[in-house]
Structure 1
Amino acid sequence: MLNKIYDWVDERLDITPLWRDIADHEVPEHVNPAHHFSAFVYCFGGLTFFVTVIQILSGMFLTMYYVPDIKNAWESVYYLQNHVAFGQIVRGMHHWGASLVIVMLFLHTLRVFFQGAYKKPRELNWVVGVLIFFIMLALGLTGYLLPWDMKALFATKVTMQIIESVPLIGVYLKTLIAGSADIVGAQTITRFFAIHVFFLPAALFALLAAHFVMIRKQGISGPL
């Protein structure tokens, strides 16, 4: 059945050369754990992407139940965790995955730095990777407020105070992000939700696409 569907699609779109080009792409010997024990450090990038996919899928599930306003945010999270089938598991995956993806991305960045993989001709890819790192941090920051509990509220207030301390533009930047220069409230949670679900993922997808295109074009960096 699957073969017939594939043949039907392939006859019209000629997809075989596309996936064969990916599947037949040779992997350098130094990243093969069977030949080099140190090759496991090259897995950090792939593991980071794997956790990112889990974050995206679990986040899509959470948005089907989450209500981004101060009256219903906490109740919607409580309902999801206690009354939706597998809701507690999915939320737990998203919660712990938010920390795990930062850890994996940090390890991947250390590998690239200490092995000199950021040098010519991969300087631009290093810049893209650093931008991805900042996007991930911003995703963690904006997502932290969404459960709307006391810990998230006070942590966000501290974050807003840090942003406000930026010279010259601090107050304006805080107002732009939080929706108010005075309080963390309804506008803040709405804006954080929009930034977390729409703006940052769009930037992340664009950067990841550029990252993978450059990796494919330049190849995996050589050993130390």
Structure 2
Amino acid sequence: MLRSMYEWLDRRLDITPLWRDVADHEVPEHVNPAHHFSAFIYCFGGLTFFIVVIQILSGMFLALYYVPDIVNAHASVKYLQTEVAFGSIVRGMHHWGASVAIVMLFLHTLRVFFTGAYKNPREFNWVIGMLIFFVMLGLGFTGYLLPWDNKAYFATKVGVQIAASVPFIGPYIATFLQGGDIVGAQTLARFFALHVFFLPAVLLALLGAHFLLIRRQGISGPL
């Protein structure tokens, strides 16, 4: 069935050359676990991407039920947890996946650094990777407020106060994040927009550039 569907599409769209260009890519011997035990450290980047995909899919499910206002936000999360089929499982995946993604991304960054994979000609990809790291931190920070409970509220207040302590531009950053002078309805709406629209768009663009450079430059060699 799947083969016939693929052939039907291929006759009309000629997708086989594109698929071959993506799939027929030689993998260096040093990242093959069958030949080198240390090859597992080269899996951190792929695992991070896999978790990001889970975050996107689970986040799309959560967005179907979440109401981004201070009156209904917490109630909508509670409804998702208690009334929606598999809601608590999906939210648990999204909640813990956010932490796991940061850990895996940190391990991937350490691998790149200690194997010298950031050096010529991969300096630009290292910069992109750092930007991805900060975007992921931003996603974690903006998503933490969305349940709108006491822990999320006061943790966000602390985070905004830390941002406000940045020299010269700190007060402007705090005002931008809060949408005003206090953490309130505007803050929740702003964090929701950042978490669901703006930061994911930036993340996908950076990931596309990251993968394009990896494909052109290849996987870095061992130490």
SS at match of 1:223: coil
Q: Distance between the aligned counterparts of 1:62 and 1:14, measured in 2? A: 36
Q: Distance between the aligned counterparts of 1:144 and 1:52, measured in 2? A: 16
Q: Which residue of 2 aligns with 1:216?
A: 215
Question: Which TM-score applies when normalising by structure 1?
Answer: 0.98
Report Cα offsets for 1:55-74 as digits up to 9, x if no partner. Answer: 00000000000000000000
Q: What are the within-5 Å matches in structure 2 for residues 24-173 of structure 1?
A: 24-173=24-173
Q: Distance between the aligned counterparts of 1:90 and 1:65, measured in 2? A: 12
Q: Distance between the aligned counterparts of 1:112 and 1:208, measured in 2? A: 16
Q: Distance between the aligned counterparts of 1:33 and 1:2, measured in 2? A: 31
Q: Which residue of 2 aligns with 1:202?
A: 201
Report Cα offsets for 1:108-166 as digits up to 9, x if no partner. Answer: 00000000000000000000000000000000000000000000000000011111112
Q: Distance between the aligned counterparts of 2:116 and 2:4, measured in 1? A: 47
Q: Distance between the aligned counterparts of 2:118 and 2:173, measured in 1? A: 32
Q: Distance between the aligned counterparts of 1:107 and 1:164, measured in 2? A: 29
CA apart distance, 1:3: 2.1
CA apart distance, 1:168: 2.0
AA of the residue aligned to 1:199: F
Q: Distance between the aligned counterparts of 1:23 and 1:167, measured in 2? A: 49
AA of the residue aligned to 1:123: E
Q: Structure 1: any 5+ residue segments left out of the alignment? A: none
SS at match of 2:85: coil
AA of the residue aligned to 1:207: L
Aligned residues: 223
Q: Distance between the aligned counterparts of 1:169 and 1:2, measured in 2? A: 56
Indicate the RMSD between aligned Cα atoms, in angstroms: 0.7
Question: Which TM-score applies when normalising by structure 2?
Answer: 0.98
Q: Which residue of 1 aligns with 2:189?
A: 190
SS at match of 1:68: coil
AA of the residue aligned to 1:184: V
Q: Distance between the aligned counterparts of 1:206 and 1:58, measured in 2? A: 20
Q: Distance between the aligned counterparts of 2:156 and 2:139, measured in 1? A: 13
**Which range moves more in the overlay, 205-214 or 2-11?**
2-11
Report Cα offsets for 1:3-62 as digits up to 9, x if no partner. Answer: 222112111211001111222111000000010000000000000000000000000000
Q: Distance between the aligned counterparts of 1:103 and 1:95, measured in 2? A: 13
SS at match of 2:221: coil
Q: Distance between the aligned counterparts of 2:180 and 2:158, measured in 1? A: 15
Find runs of 4+ consecutive structure 1 residues off by over 3 angstroms: none
SS at match of 2:3: helix
CA apart distance, 1:192: 0.1
SS at match of 2:71: coil
AA of the residue aligned to 2:124: L
Q: Distance between the aligned counterparts of 1:94 and 1:145, measured in 2? A: 14
SS at match of 1:221: coil
Q: Distance between the aligned counterparts of 1:87 and 1:103, measured in 2? A: 25
% same residue: 76
Report Cα offsets for 1:52-105 as digits up to 9, x if no partner. Answer: 000000000000000000000000000000000000000000000000000000
